[in-house]
Structure 1
Amino acid sequence: MRLRHIEVFHAIMQVGTISGAAQVLHISQPAVTKVLQHAELQLGMPLFERVRGKLHPTPEAHRLFAETEKLHRDLQGIRRLAASLKGRAVETIRLVATPTLAVSVLPQAMSAWRREFPATRCELATHHTNEIVNMLRLGEADFAVSLQDPRHPGIVAEALAHGAMTVIAPPGTWHDEEAGTPLSPAGLRGELIGYADNDPLGELVVSACEAQEVHPVFRTVVQTYQIARSLVEAGGGMAVVDPFTAASSTRVQRRPLEPAIGVQLYLLTAGHAPLSHGARRLADSVAQAALACLATPGMR
């Protein structure tokens, strides 16, 4: 099938009539009929049954429509991109972040970047790192930020900021003179919130505890650091979180974990896809927001 065949077929499937398809496509009814007949001739089978002047899609037409729907969406995206390029606008920037960074770092980064690029469209999505890798490889995102280097051959990881895992606790847990001073794994007493088994930073925390013969028991296990922070804010115990999550809350006490467990914030891109000017500036804004977050009192 040629592209014109697909456009006409898709329009007929959407509106159900030759006349409606002609209106959608801004062509005459005879032109729609001619293209449909040519498509059916090439396929060697009818796509519609004509009953009392009405078109009824065949089972083959329904199967074909499921596939042409994907192509139709792609064509719409191409048309929007062409229109934006004609107007000298930067194409849509698609940024993906892990849930933690989307809440703790990106709001400030986006706000600062938007002042420089007020008219540029930006789509922000949240996924975990494994999903992010697939999106970058498939061209479904322009770049991403994560606390993990996936070490994938098709992904370039650039470190933007460096911090350390931080212990957070409800207000009043420590005396003022203790707050801000390092805390060893032995000090992780009481209710400690844990992370799902597939969290690499959580595994490093457990390893650090076990190295000092401390064996934490996690009665509450979560998937994200911001959920752990919310539980701590509600008095649900202590947690060891990334520095960006720790710095983004004013309702917890913070202490660095000792020995330190380093955390990097990475910019992830597909190796074959250079960033546009607008995307690069957004990545720079993320780096600046991350460094500002780490400069919060009590985070050094």
Structure 2
Amino acid sequence: MKFRLRQMEVFRAVMLTGSINGASKLLFTSQPAISRIVSHTEQTLGLALFNRVKGKLVPTPEGQALFREVDEFYQQALRVDDFARGLAQGPSGTLNIASSPCLSRGLIPRVVTSFVQRYPNIRVNLRTTLLNGMAQEVLSNTVDLAVSVLPLEHPNLRIERFTEGRMVCVVPRGHELSQLPAVSLADLARFNLIAHHPSIPFGQLVSAAFRNADVPLVSRVDIHETDVACALVRAGAGIAMVDQFTVEGMAWSDLQVLPLQEEIRLAPSIVRSVFDTGRSHADKFAELLRQMVAAGDGTMAGAA
């Protein structure tokens, strides 16, 4: 075999870190040794994998194409290694998860509960993270996976939508809007409206919906957290537009949740790094999440 496993490991490390120095730190190997292996690999394969530009290694098209194959092979090898160790000792370790705050109120706690019951030797570290910080947490390996209520866009993220959701209206019980089968954005505009600040993703989503409906969006109170919106409605500050997942398990008898005529859709997604080695227990959690959603545990009854 011309391309040996050690050469693949070193080549992959250089591609991931972008330098000989970075690869040496990642593999706990001296820089000269890494450099020799890279040069020997290029000679053995008869390929120029990198261009040397001002002291930096820039992957050639051949190097980039080879990396895709090597990374896929390497991840499979790591999974086999992880599987073999798991057979001997059973699943154990820690799973780090980030969740959008609204999903951490109902759906994700149910999945985590089932997960720890199924895998009692795996400890779960669950944190809530706002959308603007989620990509960094995944790509920096601070968490093994994230569950986002809205899509994220990044070339190094793998996004898997697993269910859908909608925005809804929350009003005090007995409010005149509760007599309607569904509430329009024009209906909302007649009352003191509590809405997400336009600088955050939820606010941008709502603002776009009002523009598309040609209805002016005039909010009385701007909020950054949906829980606060519900608390303001309870206090009498007005009515609010929130995501359905926040109110899914709501036990406030003094509030009502009303459907909207205009569908403002949400796309809850599993967020992973494209460089995920497969060594964590993220696959197990993602599969359980899919199973529970497929069984009907992923959307709020009556609002989907």
Equivalent-residue separation in structure 2 for 1:277 and 1:131 (angstroms): 21
Q: Kindly state the Cα deviation for residue 295 of structure 1 after the two structures are TM-superposed.
A: 4.3
Q: Map of 1:26-175 to 2, 5 A cutoff? A: 88-174=90-176
Give the corresponding residue for 1:185.
185
Give the corresponding residue for 1:279.
282
Partner SS state of residue 251, structure 2:
coil
Checking the alignment, whether the CA contact within 8 Å between 1:197 and 1:203 is kept in structure 2 is yes
Give the corresponding residue for 2:79.
none
Residues 240-272 of structure 1: CA deviation (Å, up to 9, x unaligned): 111211322132212222221111101000011
Equivalent-residue separation in structure 1 for 2:90 and 2:262 (angstroms): 52
2:252 corresponds to 1:248: no
Q: Kindly state the Cα deviation for residue 278 of structure 1 after the two structures are TM-superposed.
A: 3.9
C-alpha change, 1:176 and 1:136, in structure 2 (3 Å) is closer
Residues 201-247 of structure 1: CA deviation (Å, up to 9, x unaligned): 32222232233342232221111222212322333321111121132
Q: Which runs of 5+ in 2 are unaligned?
A: 1-84
Equivalent-residue separation in structure 2 for 1:170 and 1:281 (angstroms): 41
Q: Which moved more, 1:116-125 or 1:99-108?
A: 99-108
C-alpha change, 1:169 and 1:92, in structure 2 (3 Å) is same
Checking the alignment, whether the CA contact within 8 Å between 2:178 and 2:258 is kept in structure 1 is no
Equivalent-residue separation in structure 2 for 1:168 and 1:268 (angstroms): 29
C-alpha change, 1:265 and 1:141, in structure 2 (3 Å) is same
2:299 corresponds to 1:294: yes
Partner SS state of residue 161, structure 2:
strand
Q: Kindly state the Cα deviation for residue 293 of structure 1 after the two structures are TM-superposed.
A: 4.8
Residue type matched to 1:186 in 2? Answer: A
Larger Rg belongs to? 1
Residues 155-211 of structure 1: CA deviation (Å, up to 9, x unaligned): 001001112111111211147653xx3211111032211212222232222232233
Equivalent-residue separation in structure 1 for 2:177 and 2:193 (angstroms): 19
Checking the alignment, whether the CA contact within 8 Å between 1:247 and 1:299 is kept in structure 2 is no
How high is the TM-score relative to the length of structure 2? 0.63
Residue type matched to 1:119 in 2? Answer: N
Q: Kindly state the Cα deviation for residue 273 of structure 1 after the two structures are TM-superposed.
A: 0.7
Q: Which moved more, 1:152-161 or 1:113-122?
A: 113-122
Equivalent-residue separation in structure 1 for 2:213 and 2:157 (angstroms): 36
Equivalent-residue separation in structure 2 for 1:245 and 1:271 (angstroms): 29
Checking the alignment, whether the CA contact within 8 Å between 1:247 and 1:293 is kept in structure 2 is no
Q: Which runs of 5+ in 1 are unaligned?
A: 1-83
C-alpha change, 1:239 and 1:293, in structure 2 (3 Å) is farther
Equivalent-residue separation in structure 1 for 2:303 and 2:148 (angstroms): 19
Residues 92-145 of structure 1: CA deviation (Å, up to 9, x unaligned): 100011222122322222112222112211111111122111111111110000
C-alpha change, 1:221 and 1:116, in structure 2 (3 Å) is same
Partner SS state of residue 206, structure 1:
helix
Equivalent-residue separation in structure 2 for 1:280 and 1:174 (angstroms): 47
Equivalent-residue separation in structure 1 for 2:128 and 2:300 (angstroms): 25
Q: Which moved more, 1:147-156 or 1:212-221?
A: 212-221
How high is the TM-score relative to the length of structure 1? 0.64
Checking the alignment, whether the CA contact within 8 Å between 2:150 and 2:269 is kept in structure 1 is yes
Partner SS state of residue 219, structure 1:
strand
Checking the alignment, whether the CA contact within 8 Å between 1:196 and 1:223 is kept in structure 2 is yes
RMSD across aligned positions (CA): 2.5
C-alpha change, 1:177 and 1:194, in structure 2 (3 Å) is closer
Between the two proteins, what is the percent identity of the paired residues? 25
Checking the alignment, whether the CA contact within 8 Å between 2:177 and 2:183 is kept in structure 1 is no
Question: What is the count of residue pairs matched by the alignment?
Answer: 214
C-alpha change, 1:283 and 1:235, in structure 2 (3 Å) is farther
